[in-house]
Amino acid sequence: MNLPFKPVILTTDALIFVLFAVVAISAWYISRHQHLLAPWKKVARSRSGMIAAVILLVFVTVGLLDSLHFRPVLPGDAAVGKANYAVDVMSVFDVIAAPLKRKQEKTYSAPLSAYLFAKETVELPDGSEARVFPRLTYGGAHLKDPATEQTPDIVKRIVAGVAIAALAWNILLLCVTFWLSHRHGHSVRDTWSAIWKGHTEMPWREMLVTNGVVFLVFVPMMVLSAGYHVLGTDKVGQDVFYLTLKSIRTGLVIGTLTTLVMLPFALLLGILAGYLRGWVDDIIQYLYTTLNSIPGVLLIAASVLILQGVIDRHQDWFQTASERADARLFLLCMILGVTSWTGLCRLLRGESLKLRELDYIQAARAFGVSDYRIITRHILPNVMHIVLIAIVMDFSGLILAEAVLSYVGVGVDPTMNSFGTMINSARMEMARDPMVWWSLASAFAFMLLLVLSANLFADAVRDAFDPRIRGRLASPGFLSKYLPATPGR
């Protein structure tokens, strides 16, 4: 059978699916237990938290779409009888953004420009030569005379985009209103006014407005990108908007999978050390003090280079460049995870030490309940909130760390799109005269938006679960192990 594509599940894809499943199952589980649901309800009431959540949702959607990979079939010989699949792996997001990916110019062009950024000597039809800004192959190619037509055309497209955005937002608005009124059994009119007066339990007004803003910004951008490069093109003429969106997945993967990797270590070792004490505690403490005392960047650099060597020695493991790059990304997550479990581990150890002395656990021990049972039934559930807070708080730090590591040259594979690689190649463009600012600006804006909303959301989660943990987790230095850019380190 000749499928038009061959699904590819990269390592990180698989883990993302696992993570997604875990999140879904926990959500389902939590929704059935009131005491677990209560803090989440508190999160849901936080205005900044929910605004951030809406934005994060957009990022996550892009990231998930970008995680469904496949290899398209090559237009090969039908005579051979079996399909051949391309070597480059595509994702569903690539299909959606196919026009952006395909429309590659020669080199730099400014946002929304119809011309290349630099003058070139071209041959005129009459054989003479002139130095002009050449037209782009794709961007604004539909314009006959950009000087007069471009601005009206852009305005037209923006208006169309705004109109579509408004329409979409209105539909969303109606859906939400009807759904809420149906759910709470109020009239549509009451629900409507409750939303806009901010009387709903969840901050629906803020969420909807955020959503509206997201629509208003992105829909016109999408409409525009049909005919232009909204954020310009980079050195080899790739659309910066596309590159930026592609970077999101990398950021999300590093932010989430790293924690996923380190969790088993931190949970197991931390609880064991705190609960069992004695020599187990000594060994585990020794382990994390040793790991901690090696300057983080050196540890990460060495590990990345080693695993890089492993990848190089086993070329046959990977069929495509994406698989190689993905393996490196996965290994980077592993390394960051292995080198960063110590902070959480220490915290969990402390908490378990405390829990262990509680009366009911002492009683359970006296009754001869097995250690395994005590840990799984009593200790683990009671430290989960710390774990959760650690997950959301590490997330943003890890995205920032990726940028720095890529700068040092031990980050993701250079062929992979990420904020780090974008900044790395774009920072040199600052020195150009005239300056090429758009790559850096896009990376900055999108990264800021992602990290900012992650931070805001993390704040809301922490406030809901354990506001007192703030100091211990967010103390300066907790993450600075990966952040050599923070001076003083």
Partner 1 sequence: MKGIITILALVLPASLGACSGPWNDPYPAQEAGKNILYSSFSERPKHLDPVQSYAENEAVFTAQIYMPPLQYHYLKRPYELTTLAATEVPKPTYYDAADRKLPETAGGAKVAYSVYEIHIQAGIMYQPHPAFAKDENGKYRYHQLKREDLKDVYELRDFKYTGTRELVADDYAFQIRRLAHPKLHSPIFGLISEYVVGLKDYAAKLQEATKAPSADGYLDLLQFPLDGVQVVDAHTYRIKLKGKYPQFVYWLAMPFFAPIPWEAERFYSQPGMSEGKNLSLDWYPVGTGAYMLTVNDPNRIMVMERNPNFAGEPYPSEGEDGDKAAGLLDDAGKMMPFIDKAVFSLEKESIPYWNKFLQGYYDASGITSDSFDQTVQITSSGDVTLADEMRKQDIVLQTSVATSVMYMGFNMIDPVVGGDSERTRKLRQAISIAVDQEEFISIFTNGRGIPGQGPIPPGIFGHREGLGEINPYVYDWVNSKPERKPIAFAKKLLAEAGYPNGIDKASGKPLVIYFDTTMSGVGGKSRIDWLTKQFQKIDLQLVVRNTDFNRFQDKIRKGTAQLFFFGWNADYPDPENFLFLLYGPQSRIKSGENAANYQNPEYDRMFERMQVMENGPERQALIDQMVEILRRDAPWVYMLYPKDYTLAHAWVYNRKPNKMANNGLKYQRIDPQLRQKKRAEWNHPVVWPIIVLLAVLALVLTPAVQSYRRRERAGGKLLPA
Partner 2 sequence: MIAFLVRRILYAIPILIGVNVLTFLLFFIVNSPDDMARMQLGQKRVSDEAVVKWKQERGYDKPSFFDAQASGIRKITNTIFFEKSVPLFWFDFGRAEADGRDIAHEIRSRMWPSLAIALPVFIVGMLSYITFALLMAFFRATYIDIAGILLCIFAMSVSGLFYIIGGQYVISKLWNLVPISGYVGGLNAWKFLVLPVVIGIVGGVGASARWYRTIFIEEINRDYVRTARAKGLSEWRVLFRHVLHNAMIPILTGAVVAIPLLFLGSLITESFFSIPGLGSYTIDAISQQDFSVVRAMVFLGSVLYIIGLILTDISYTVADPRIRLQ
Applying CB under 8 A, does 298 fall inside the site for partner 2? yes
Applying CB under 8 A, does 345 fall inside the site for partner 2? no
Stretch that binds partner 1, among 102-110, 212-220, 252-260, 470-478 (CB under 8 A): 102-110
Scanning 226-277, the segments in alpha helix (DSSP H) are: 240-276
CA atoms within 13 A on the CB side of 142: 11
- Cα angle, residue 97 at apex, residues 93 and 103 outer, rounded to 5°: 140
- Residue 253, binding choice from partner 1, partner 2, none, Cβ under 5 to 8 Å by partner class: none
Among 434, 5, 394, 42, CA closest to 232: 434
Q: Which residue type sits at 27? A: A
- Residue 433, binding choice from partner 2, partner 1, none, Cβ under 5 to 8 Å by partner class: partner 1
CA 483 – CA 402 distance, rounded (Å): 9
Q: Among 143, 423, 460, 461, which residue sits at the site for partner 2 (rule: CB under 8 A)?
A: 423
User: Which tokens belong to 95?
Assistant: 């299909």
Please state the φ and ψ torsions of residue 91, each to the nearest 5 degrees. -125, 165
Applying CB under 8 A, does 19 fall inside the site for partner 1? no
Comparing CB distances to partner 2, the nearer of 316 and 433 is: 433
Q: Among 252, 284, 325, 404, which residue sits at the site for partner 2 (rule: CB under 8 A)?
A: 404
Site size with partner 2, rule: CB under 8 A: 53
Say which residues have a Cβ less than 8 Å from residue 394's Cβ, sequence separation at least 6. 255, 258, 259, 340, 479
Q: What is the dihedral of CA 19, 21, 22, 27, to 10 degrees?
A: 130
Among 234, 246, 251, 239, CA closest to 411: 251
DSSP letter for each residue of 27-53: HHHHHT-HHHHHHHHHHHH-HHHHHHH
Site for partner 1 in 334-373 (CB under 8 A): none
Stretch that binds partner 1, among 186-194, 256-264, 320-328, 350-358 (CB under 8 A): 320-328
Applying CB under 8 A, does 470 fall inside the site for partner 2? yes
- Residue 434, binding choice from partner 2, partner 1, none, Cβ under 5 to 8 Å by partner class: partner 1
CA 150 – CA 112 distance, rounded (Å): 9
CA 104 – CA 141 distance, rounded (Å): 12
Q: How far is the CB of 76 from partner 1 (least distance, A)?
A: 5
CA 382 – CA 128 distance, rounded (Å): 80
The count of other CB atoms within 10 Å of the CB of residue 249 is 26
Comparing CB distances to partner 2, the nearer of 191 and 396 is: 396
User: Which tokens belong to 69?
Assistant: 């990979």
CA 122 – CA 134 distance, rounded (Å): 8
Site for partner 1 in 416-455 (CB under 8 A): 421, 424-425, 427-428, 430-434, 436
Applying CB under 8 A, does 43 fall inside the site for partner 2? no
Q: Among 4, 28, 32, 75, which residue sits at the site for partner 1 (rule: CB under 8 A)?
A: 75
Cβ distance 269 to 276 under 8 Å?
no
Q: Among 57, 160, 222, 321, which residue sits at the site for partner 1 (rule: CB under 8 A)?
A: 321
Cβ distance 207 to 54 under 8 Å?
yes
377: which DSSP letter? I
Applying CB under 8 A, does 408 fall inside the site for partner 2? yes
Applying CB under 8 A, does 51 fall inside the site for partner 2? no
- Residue 447, binding choice from partner 1, partner 2, none, Cβ under 5 to 8 Å by partner class: partner 2
Comparing CB distances to partner 2, the nearer of 242 and 395 is: 395
Applying CB under 8 A, does 6 fall inside the site for partner 1? no
Applying CB under 8 A, does 459 fall inside the site for partner 2? yes
**Footprint on this chain of partner 2 (rule: CB under 8 A):** 286, 289-295, 297-299, 301-303, 305-306, 309, 396, 400, 403-404, 407-409, 419, 423, 427, 430, 440, 444, 447-448, 451-452, 454-456, 459, 468, 470-471, 474-477, 479, 483-489
Residues making contact with partner 1 (CB under 8 A):
74-77, 80, 82, 84, 86-88, 104, 106-107, 116, 118-121, 131, 234-236, 238, 305, 308-309, 312, 315, 320-321, 324, 409, 413-415, 421, 424-425, 427-428, 430-434, 436
